[in-house]
Structure 1
Amino acid sequence: MHFNYLNPTEILFGRGQIASIATAIPTTSRVLVVYGGGSIKSNGVYQQVVDALEHHQWEEFSGVEPNPTKETLDKAVAIVKEHAIDMILAVGGGSVIDGCKYIAAAAKYDGDGWDILCGKHQVSEATPIGAILTLPATGSESNSGAVITKAETKDKLPFLSPFVQPRFAVMDPDVMKTLPDRQLTNGVVDAWMHVCEQYLTYNHGHMVQDGYAEVLLRNLKTLGEQFDQRDSDEWRANLMWTANQALNGLIGSGVPHDWATHMIGHELTALWHVDHARSLAIIQPSLLRNQIENKRGKLEQMGREVFNLTPSADLAERTIDAIEAFYHSLDVATVLVEHGDDKAAAIDSVIEQLTKHGMVALGETQAIDLESSREILRHAIA
């Protein structure tokens, strides 16, 4: 193992913690509050923010979409520049927080913000960010990554920068009380996939990261099995904290990562607006079956440690079946139907996008070439 690990985000966890932004943000800061479709105004979160910012100068920007678009976010970038905003407060789930990371970085750049996603501009500064998490799923509240969509060209690309890591994250499980079941289910699946992408690679002997990943997977499996208890304080708090730990950098330190499911799944979202978490559930089982020999050891380990399966020659195969059954138990599909009735054209569209984005050698050993991706899609698309 050889790695550096630092997570500078201050976590403010628990009931009533939204009020703490009154002191977490200096009163001298000019704040831009960014949120999505306005649900925070009906569930009480917005009013808590207003009360906490009583002694601050602040403005607001709404309308950030699920899978945030450059076109919308650039409007907020203009506000930050024009009004000399000192602090961006993201109030929402991963989409809003990801969007604020783009806003923060693009506001310190004179060119087109999309240059950040294309790799033409390396972020060297950003407007400070704080986050109030309303939907647990992505872990974006305490990591340095974001994924942004350019609607005009149907491109969905990620970027990483330590400069956009939130300074603090408020995590109050009470804000989850009004979330629709679909969003809670997506949160379970998204967090599950984040762990898998850092765990289901090859045997490397890193006991802490593997053991912690297995704890998180068992947590999520239990939360899925106890979905009928989702109205309890305990269920909400455990999902919020588990989803955060799934992608705060710790379990991924010093170990190989995959992320192929994400890269292919992003194209399903960009082309057909599939929910991010559901795009991952569509791709993963087919990808694991395609790469089973490369991942057999870790699949067998997951079968034993997470699903409590008995050893057998087909343990890896049974583990994939168990993963797929877990998604089905949450009423999450594992084949794409949103593309219409032309499967061949759909596969070609995804392959064209992967080629365009340079996603031609994916996975922890770069073993997933375009032909492998095509084969995965043959099984993943109805």
Structure 2
Amino acid sequence: MLNFDFYNPTLISFGEGRIAELDRLIPAKARVLVLFGGDSARRTGTLAEVQGALADREVLLFGGIEPNPSYETLIEAVALVRREAVDFLLAVGGGSVIDGTKFVAAAVNYAGEPWEILQSHGSKVTQALPFGAVLTLPATGSEMNNGGVVTRKSEQAKLPFRNKLLFPVFSILDPSKTFTLPERQVANGVVDAFVHVVEQYLTYPGDAPVQDRFAEGLLLTLIELGPKALSQPQDYQVRANLMWVATLALNGLIGAGVPQDWATHMIGHEITALYGLDHAQTLAVVLPAMLQQRRAAKHAKLLQYAERVWGLSSGSEEQRIDAAIVRTRDFFEALGVKTRLGDYQLGQEVVEPLIAQLEAHGMTRLGEHRDVTPAISRQVLQACL
């Protein structure tokens, strides 16, 4: 096992009706900006419920944060916070809204150009406004970690950032708030959480059986619950367990002391930035091809994955690895998330622009061994067609 520091200060308030806890969780004299996405927060009544819980405070609203939060939109929120002397932020939505809120929290008191926060991947952040979250879409784990991803449309750049100051103070997880989600968002959330786990697990043996078993348990749970979440949308227990799995997939626990990959995510970010696919759609496209292209370096863990997650113990080693990759692709497809670029009307013409973007953003040494060069990324993208 590798040396590690594990720190996670986020309070989780889990269960139905917990939005009422906002009155206790946010300082009584706080000036609060509630950030959210589209009309669903209003239509479902969640925004009204939040406002009701904050009735004794001065509350401002900022809507319109996109599914891939844009720098351009978030800068408007930064200006509002500065102008109105807001001192507490509250994200109401999924990972994109929470990611955007993290950026706003970091940018408000940043002395330089806020774009530098993303260019430095968050390392230049030295202070941040406190913020909390009301999660309505389980997927990214942003509700219990200190990272995010923001897109600058004018640059066609989707960049990750992370800083120890950007953990939410608290996050409220009410599974009943997911009952009205469209199937596409539910399926995307399952894929997103699944690939988050894989990026921390499917690398090389790190003599970390605790983390491995945690990760395998999360993957097995996602395989079990994913179809049920689509077929039984009003089942509270299914949605509760799915919400908690997605949080645990990226709150730092299973990644502590083990090598991590993230090459699939970095390539996926560029696909979203250039061609507008949902984040989870890019992951479903890239992951099977990535595993196939890098099967030699991941050989031992792929065999472990095949046996422990998919129950594949017969046949040659190569046959078991092949079958595990096929099972992974089939799982995504069964959720309704397509796994080929061609499924999204993207062909050979996208490969070189994507490689150019990876190079422009310094993504030239990816993966757990830092051996995923642009040449390897090109092979992966070719295999995605």
TM-score bin (small chain) = over 0.9
**Aligned residue among 195, 219, 223 for 2:221:** 219
* Number of aligned positions between the proteins: 380
- 2:351 is aligned, of 336, 344, 347, to 347
Residues 262-290 of structure 1 deviation map (CA, whole Å, 9 limit, x = unaligned): 00000110011100011000001111000
What's the counterpart of residue 156 of structure 2?
154
Cα separation, 2, equivalents of 1:100 and 1:338 = 33
| Match in the other structure for 1:315 | 320
Which runs of structure 2 are paired with 1:116-135 in the superposition (5 Å)?
116-119=117-120, 122-135=124-137
Q: Single out whichever of 4-13 and 112-121 deviates more from structure 2.
A: 112-121
Structure 2 partner of 1:109 = 110
Residue in structure 2 matched with residue 288 of structure 1 by the alignment:
291
Distance 2:309 2:234 in 1: 25
In the alignment, what sits opposite 2:329? Answer: 324
- Partner AA of 1:369 in structure 2: T
**In structure 2, distance between residues paired with 1:179 and 1:359:** 34
| TM-score, normalised relative to structure 1 | 0.97
Deviations 1:109-140 (A, max 9, x none): 13221110111860010011100000000000
**Partner amino acid, structure 2, of 1:113:** P
The superposition leaves residues 183-207 of structure 1 with CA deviations (integer Å, 9 ceiling, x where unpaired) of 0000100000000000000011101
User: C-alpha offsets along residues 65-106 of structure 1, whole Å, 9 cap, x if unaligned?
Assistant: 010000000000001111111100000000000000000001
Dislocated runs of 4+, deviation >6 Å? none
- Residues 37-69 of structure 1 show CA distances to partners (whole Å, capped at 9, x for unaligned) of 121111110111111001111111000001000
Unaligned runs of 5+ in 2: none
What's the TM-score once normalised by structure 2's chain length?
0.97
Aligned: 1:268 with 2:275: no
CA contact 1:274–1:338 (8 Å) conserved in 2: no
SS of the aligned residue for 1:196 comes to: helix
1:110, 1:57 → 2: CA distance?
27
The whole-number CA distance in structure 2 between the counterparts of 1:340 and 1:42 is 33
Amino acid at match of 1:124: T
Letter in 1 for 2:312: L
Structure 2 counterpart of 1:72, which letter? T
**What code does the residue aligned with 2:63 have?**
S
Per-residue deviation, 1:378: 0.7
* Corresponding residue SS for 2:297: helix
Identity fraction in percent: 46
The one-letter amino acid paired with 1:6 is Y
Encode CA deviations 1:322-350: one digit per residue, 9 max, x unaligned: 10111111121111137756x33310110
Q: For residue 183 of structure 1, what is the amino acid of its counterpart?
A: Q
Q: Report the counterpart of residue 166 of structure 1 in structure 2.
A: 168
Equivalent AA in structure 1 for residue 226 of structure 2 = G
- Structure 2 letter corresponding to 1:224: G
The secondary structure found in structure 1 opposite 2:33 is strand
Question: What CA distance in whole angstroms lies between the structure 2 residues aligned with 1:240 and 1:339?
Answer: 28
| Whole-angstrom CA distance in 1 between matches of 2:233 and 2:41 | 20
For residues 145-195 of structure 1, the C-alpha deviation after alignment (integer angstroms, 9 at most, x for no partner) is 000000011100000011111000000001001100000000100000000
The CA distance in 2 between the partners of 1:27 and 1:338, in whole Å, is 51
Query: Amino acid of the residue matched to residue 236 of structure 2?
Result: D
Aligned: 1:358 with 2:359: no
Please, which moves more after superposition, 227-236 or 198-207?
227-236
Structure 1 vs Structure 2 CA RMSD: 1.2
1:339/1:346 contact within 8 Å kept: no
> Is the Cα–Cα contact under 8 Å of residues 192 and 220 in structure 1 kept in the other structure?
yes
| Number of the residue aligned with 1:335 | 340
Supply the distance in 2 between the matched residues of 1:193 and 1:164 (Cα, whole angstroms).
23
**What is the DSSP-based 3-state SS (H/G/I as helix, E as strand, rest coil) of the residue aligned with 1:262?**
helix
Q: 1:195, 1:217 within 8 Å by CA — same for their partners in 2? A: yes
Aligned-pair CA distance for 1:359: 0.5
Q: Give the C-alpha shift of residue 225 in structure 1.
A: 3.6
Aligned counterpart for 2:184 among listed residues 182, 185, 193? 182
Question: What does residue 383 of structure 2 align with?
Answer: 379
- Amino acid of the residue matched to residue 197 of structure 2? V
Matched, 1:242 2:245: yes
Aligned to 1:82: 83
User: Are the equivalent residues in 2 in contact too, given 1:261–1:284 (CA < 8 A)?
Assistant: yes
- 2:101 pairs with 1:100: yes
**Distance in 1 of aligned mates of 2:243 and 2:167:** 18
- CA contact 1:156–1:267 (8 Å) conserved in 2: yes
Q: Any gaps of 5 or more consecutive residues in structure 1?
A: none
The whole-number CA distance in structure 1 between the counterparts of 2:91 and 2:237 is 25
Distance 1:80 1:165 in 2: 19
